[in-house]
Amino acid sequence: MTMERRNFLKLLGAGASAATLGLAGCASGPKYTGGRKVVVIGGGYGGTIAAKYIRMMDATIEVTLIERNDHFVSCPFSNLYLGGILPDLSSLTIKYDKLAANHGIKVVQAEVTGIDAAAHSVTTSAGVFKYDSLVVSPGVEFRTDEIKGYDHDVMPHAWKAGPQTVLLRKQLEAMKPGGTVVLSIPLAPFRCPPGPYERTSMIAMYLKEHKPGSKIIVLDANPDIVSKKGLFLKGWKKHYEGIIDYRPAKKVTEVDNKKMTVLIEGIEEVKGDVINVIPPQKAGHIAHVAGLVGPDGKWCPVNPMTFESTLKKDIHVIGDSSIAGAMPKSGYSANSEAKVCATNIVARMNSRELTEMSGVNTCYSFLSAKEAVSVTGVYQVDKEKHAIVAVKGSVGVSPDLSELEAVYAQSWVKNILTEMST
């Protein structure tokens, strides 16, 4: 389709525009004279989808996906492994072979060390890759410097799924009955706003079933539960009364790995047998190296229509690293943002008019083995504010804990991981 149209225009001469030809929905944009190479950094919720959709929409564009691992483990649903609903992380693990073969994506396993925006090149442990458009989807990095003494081998964050999740699960299994788990939540914004509260529920469920007399102390740096508050409180009361000790406005600033304590604002000490410290977060490392991070020193400002960096031309930032207005830092948001970004990269490379974004977020959280709740939103660009905003009425949470939503959630993870890997 795109080829046909391009050849058609070529025949008519460079000056012809689709608009004057009256081709509905194919109005022309600024004439594009660059090349057709796209490099995508990061093989998670955002990067896989950006690579796939660019190739699906225009197979004449060459796409290289660079990822440091040969597989990806989903953070969404990894709390279910901590709670014991999932026996391991295998159902949350994807590989890239089918994605690469189905769509002709070149997948390179390498560590990205630098981005040269002027030269349009990415330096990696496997060589240099030139690009015409670059998509950066590196997830989050931890601001560990804000927690004195932090060592993730002793107090795992388990906020990037994989070995860290397994370590935390092993620590929970090894804990004596009657023990205390401490979970520390950083100030928002962080990856997956309801995630820490789902984790609280899943750990409490595990303690209730397997470690009688144990409890979990939740130290939340935020003044209150950040997401789905009413539903979490309801579920905690229903299932985990006396097990969860939730304490708002408690910011962990220091840890003692030998004494197994955390320090709140350098004063109040809390001891735990297992301590899960989720540190405060910022955009992925490479975003900082490449100068994509804005004046807040944490996140990447982007054009809400294209997700192009407002700081570096031809570089797009999607997923957790980007400032996507009202869209939360979730796996579904990254998926949705990737499609918006892909659509407009393809439009630009074909000298077509850009399309306004329309995005979706759907996040499920489990409260027990059989009950889940969700938050949803549909997002669009507010032209006056130059920002992504929620469409009125579309943002909301479940009316109650729901067994049906737990069933839907299982299909959600199956679908979204299939979309990323095939």
Partner 1 sequence: MKMKWSGLALALGALVFSAAANAAPPSAAMLSNACGGCHGTHGASAGPSMPSLAGQSKVFFIDAMKKFRSGDRPGTVMSRLAKGYTDEQIVAMADFFAKQKPQAQDTAVNPALVAKGKTVYDNACKRCHLENGKEFEEDTPIVAGQWLTYLQIQMNEFQSGARKMSEKKAEKVKPLTAADWEAVAHFYASQK
Q: What one-character DSSP code corresponds to residue 5?
A: H
In terms of CB distance, is 221 or 420 closer to partner 1? 420
Minimum distance of partner 1 from residue 10's CB (angstroms): 23
Interface with partner 1 includes 394 (CB under 8 A)? yes
Taking alpha carbons only, the member of 357, 345, 361 closest to residue 412 is 361
| Distance in angstroms (rounded) separating the CA atoms of residues 80 and 5 | 48
Coil vs helix vs strand at 199: helix
Measured over the CA atoms of residue 116, residue 122, residue 128 and residue 132, the dihedral's sign is negative
Interface with partner 1 includes 35 (CB under 8 A)? no
Minimum distance of partner 1 from residue 237's CB (angstroms): 22
Looking at 355, 369, 382, 389, which residue binds partner 1 (CB under 8 A)? 355
In terms of CB distance, is 104 or 248 closer to partner 1? 104
Cis peptide before 189 (omega within 30 of 0): yes
Interface with partner 1 includes 86 (CB under 8 A)? no
Minimum distance of partner 1 from residue 6's CB (angstroms): 18
Instruction: Provide the mask over 293-322, with x wherever binding to partner 1 is found by CB under 8 A and - wherever it is not.
Output: -xx-----x-x-xx-x-xx-x---------
The amino acid that residue 336 corresponds to is: S
Q: Which residues contact 411 (CB under 8 A, 6 or more apart)?
A: none
Instruction: Provide the mask over 261-290, with x wherever binding to partner 1 is found by CB under 8 A and - wherever it is not.
Output: ------------------------------
Number of residues that bind partner 1 (CB under 8 A): 64
In terms of CB distance, is 232 or 332 closer to partner 1? 332
The strands making up 121-124's β-sheet, listed across from edge to edge, are 112-116, 121-124, 127-130
Q: What are phi and psi of 410, to 5 degrees?
A: -60, -40
The amino acid that residue 200 corresponds to is: T
Coil vs helix vs strand at 318: coil
Positions touching partner 1 (CB under 8 A) are: 25, 27, 29-30, 52-53, 56, 294-295, 301, 303, 305-306, 308, 310-311, 313, 332, 335-336, 339-340, 343-344, 353-360, 362, 374, 376-380, 383, 386, 390-396, 398, 402, 404-405, 407-408, 410-416, 418-419, 422
